[in-house]
Amino acid sequence: MPQPTESPRSLAGREPADLSDGQVVERVLAGDRGAFELIMRRYNRRLFRVARSLLGDDHEAEDVLQDAYVRAFEKLRQFEHRARFSTWLTRIVIHEALGRRKKRSRVRLVDPQVTEAGPMLTLHAHDDVAANSSRQELRRILVDAVDSLPNELRVVFTMRLIEGLDTAETAACLQLSESNVKVRLHRARAQLRRWIDQKLGEEVRQLFQFDGERCDRIVLGVLQQIAADS
C-alpha cells in the first residue's frame, strides 16, 4: 500500500474528526495520499469484524483487510457516491473475504491464543489474575458461540449486533433485502441460544449445589439448636 505522506499527528491537525468521508476522498484524489489513513482508522474496527465474521480467523482477516484497502485505494475514482462510502468499502472487504475463503485448499487450524484475542472484549491491565482468567474464559465462550454460526448468519450478527450497523446499511453492504437481514438476525439469535443452552446448560444446572458439607453443616446446626431449646 502507498505510504502516507504525512504523520498521523500532522494529518489529524488538518483534518477534523467530523470531516465527511466524501471530503476525505476528495483530498486523496487530489493527491493527498496521507488522507487515506483517516479512512483506514475510521473503519478499521468495523471492516476487521466483517472480515473476521466471514473467515473465522484473525490473521486471515487482517490480510484481507489490507488487501481490501489497497484495492479501494486503487479504485477510489470508481466510487460513484450512489451508496455510502462506508457501504462501498465494506462491499470490497466482503468480496475479498469471500474470494479468500474460496481459495482455501485445506482447513486451517485456528490458534486458540489468537482466537481469544478477538475484538469483542478488552482486558484491563490492572485486573487481578482471577478477573483476567474469568474474562478470557467468557471471551472464549463468546467467540466459540459466534463462530458456531453459519457464515451467512455470522456476518449479519456481527454487523448488526457487534458493530452496531442498522438494518438498512447491513442490507446494502451484503446486497440483501432488509427483511432478509431481519430473518437472518433472528435465526442467528435462535441458534446462539440453542448453542449456549447445549454448552452451558449442564454447567448452569450445577450452580449453587446444596449437598455434601454444606448440607451436613445446615442439618447439624438446626439439630443443635433444637437440642438446645428442648
- Residue by residue, pLDDT tens for the chain (230 residues) are 344 344 444 444 444 567 899 999 999 999 888 888 888 999 999 999 999 999 988 889 999 999 999 999 999 999 988 888 999 999 999 999 999 888 864 444 444 443 333 443 343 444 566 666 667 777 888 888 899 999 999 999 999 999 999 999 999 999 999 999 999 999 999 999 888 888 777 666 665 555 667 677 777 777 777 677 65
Q: What is the pTM of this model?
A: 0.65
CATH class of the domain defined by 1-110: mainly alpha
How are the residues of the chain apportioned to helix, strand and coil, as percentages rounded to the nearest 5? 75, 0, 25
The ranges assigned to domains in the chain are: 1-110
CA 139, CA 118: separation in Å to the nearest integer?
8
Cell numbers given for 179: 427483511
User: For residue 14, what is its C-alpha cell?
Assistant: 488538518
Q: Angle at the Cα of 110 (from 137 to 64), degrees rounded to 5? A: 115
